[in-house]
Amino acid sequence: MPNSSDSAQSFMVDRLVIFGATGDVVSRLFLPALVGLVQESTFPRNLSITAIARKSWSTEQYHQHVRETFRKQGTDVESDQLEYLFSCIQYAQVEDLSHIQRVQEALGSSPFVAYLALPPSTFSMVLNTIKQIGIPQGSRIIFEKPFGENFGSARTLNYQAHQIFPEEQVFRIDHFLGKQTVRNILGLRFGNRIFEPIWNQHHIENVEIIWDETLALEGRVGYYDKAGALKDMIQNHLLQLMCLIGMEPPISFNDRDFRDRKVDLLRAVRSLTPDEVKQQTVRAQYDAGTINGKAIPAYKDEDGVDADRGTETYAEIKLWIDSWRWAGVPFVLRSGKALGKDRKEVLIHFKDVPYLAFGESKEIQRNILRLQFSPDSLNLSLNLNGAGDPFQLNPAELKSQLAPQDTLPYGDLFLNVLANDPILFIRADEVEELWRIIEPIQSGWEQDQVPLFSYPAGSLKPKDSFKESH
Ligand code: BG6
């Protein structure tokens, strides 16, 4: 491992090299976020960007491709701001990322931030190329998620990356940590006195973390067919949400204290046994259906899908955290594509009151704290006395709409990379823990220990999924 005293802190980096510049994540999430930085005047002065992809294009053709993609995906940006961004972007064709000379030309000789917006299967090869080239001091690397394809490959990638970059110059991205509402979980839990005394197994019955999307494959077959919902959403985004809900209070919000507490939580998550994988996980794939009046073909009939692979587009798992705080509280994590409704929320279900002096009341419901991410809001369901019979209970809801985020998640995170602040990125040991939790599920599914159910596109969820708690 290089000497960590070669800290990137003292190096100004004003070059970004995007590998995989024609991919979905770049056009859907990263470039719009950079336009957002231009709009807010936080776009780094003097930043120059090299966009690398395979196509034999000129810089103008690449810009045209981005304009066209934005139009198709409905990304609404001010054209003068987009043109300003383009004035910073040069395109470079690199057909083969193991080609040392071509990659070297694209990387240049001053410190850079390399952003690998590529499928995880290619990371190792790119690292190998970069190792042979060598890096200017202070250079940094951003890995798009998922980092690796399983526990073993993540560990190997960590080793390979550390041969070139010290850990503090490695940024494993999870854009959920760039979402303001996700970070609001920290404010809610650690900035208020009222929640901590009840934030445990004495008062919480169960937790649901739900990310249902109406989006279907959206032309991402090359990546998605090899990933599936478990690796695309649960291994990273949903487990991050679980970390923030479940972690112990950190002693400070510096990157070490914060990430140490997240890793503690992950280490307490029990690895599922093969039997538990059968009982506590659900996988499914969407069939033909209709979403918002639009006909959606079955996943297996989408162009480029390898039907034999049996990729899941819906994944649901139940996990247990073996700790004093969470013993016996199930955490259900689920995410699916091509569902009938966008539903992105965390639900904290509180236990029943120990005794109800009001007697039988049909209206009584459990208290639920609901953190909704799209649109961002915080809701708490309570039982209050109604207008009629003074001792009758009626459900009521406290709702708070949260202000929309100024900077898009990737914009915030990119600025953190330039500031060399890793707090919102996934640490090496953390990513290995994430894979340790997923590994038994992944292998049970690969061995067909769990049936692959199907659900019509546009349905609310597969009928074989877990019963919801409400
Ligand atoms: C990405 C996944 O990381 O997150 C996509 O690859 C998913 O499949 C997306 O649609 C969800 O994030 P957001 O911010 O669009 O809700």
294 is an annotated ligand-binding site residue: no
Pocket test for ligand 1, best of 233, 238, 241, 426 (most atoms within 8 A of CB): 233
In short, whether 174's Cβ falls inside 6 Å of ligand 1 is no
8 Å CB contact between 219 and 303:
no
Whose C-alpha lies nearest to ligand 1, atom 15? 29
8 Å CB contact between 434 and 425:
no
Q: Look at residue 361 in the predicted model and tell me its pLDDT.
A: 59
Pocket test for ligand 1, best of 237, 299, 337 (most atoms within 8 A of CB): 237
Whose C-alpha lies nearest to ligand 1, atom 4? 233
Query: Which structure tokens are listed for 415?
Result: 């600025």
167-185 burial, b at 16+ Cβ within 10 Å, e below that, comes to: ebbbbbbbbbbbbbbbbbb
In short, whether 215's Cβ falls inside 6 Å of ligand 1 is yes
| Type of residue numbered 151 | F
Closest ligand 1 atom to 179 CA: 14
* Residue with token string 């704290």: 369
Closest ligand 1 atom to 24 CA: 6
Q: Look at residue 4 in the predicted model and tell me its pLDDT.
A: 38
Give the model confidence (pLDDT) of 253-286 as tens digits. Answer: 999 999 999 999 999 999 999 999 999 999 999 9
8 Å CB contact between 156 and 190:
no
* Residue with token string 């303001």: 180
Angle of helix 123-133 relative to helix 100-107, nearest 10 degrees? 80
Q: Is the peptide bond before 32 cis (omega within 30 degrees of 0)?
A: no
Give the model confidence (pLDDT) of 1-32 as tens digits. Answer: 333 334 444 468 999 999 999 999 999 999 99
3-state secondary structure of 381: strand
* Alpha carbon separation from 224 to 274, 299, 334 (Å, rounded): 25, 11, 17
Query: Which structure tokens are listed for 267?
Result: 């280490």
Enumerate residues 6+ apart whose C-beta is below 8 A from 456. Answer: 286, 287, 288, 289
Q: Look at residue 219 in the predicted model and tell me its pLDDT.
A: 82
What pTM was estimated for this model as a whole? 0.94
213 is an annotated ligand-binding site residue: yes
- CA gap 52, 43 in Å, rounded: 21
Q: Look at residue 63 in the predicted model and tell me its pLDDT.
A: 98
Asked whether the CA dihedral 335, 338, 344, 349 is positive or negative, the reply is: negative
145 is an annotated ligand-binding site residue: yes
- CA gap 290, 9 in Å, rounded: 51
Query: What are the residue ranges in the chain where pLDDT is below 70?
Result: 1-11, 360-363, 469-470
What is the chain's length?
Answer: 470
Closest ligand 1 atom to 145 CA: 3
Strands 48-53 and 294-296: unpaired
| Type of residue numbered 463 | K
Residue 268 gets which letter from DSSP? Answer: T
Whose C-alpha lies nearest to ligand 1, atom 14? 176
303 is an annotated ligand-binding site residue: no
Q: Look at residue 388 in the predicted model and tell me its pLDDT.
A: 74
| Type of residue numbered 124 | S
211 beta partners: 335, 344
In short, whether 345's Cβ falls inside 6 Å of ligand 1 is no
Q: Look at residue 7 in the predicted model and tell me its pLDDT.
A: 44
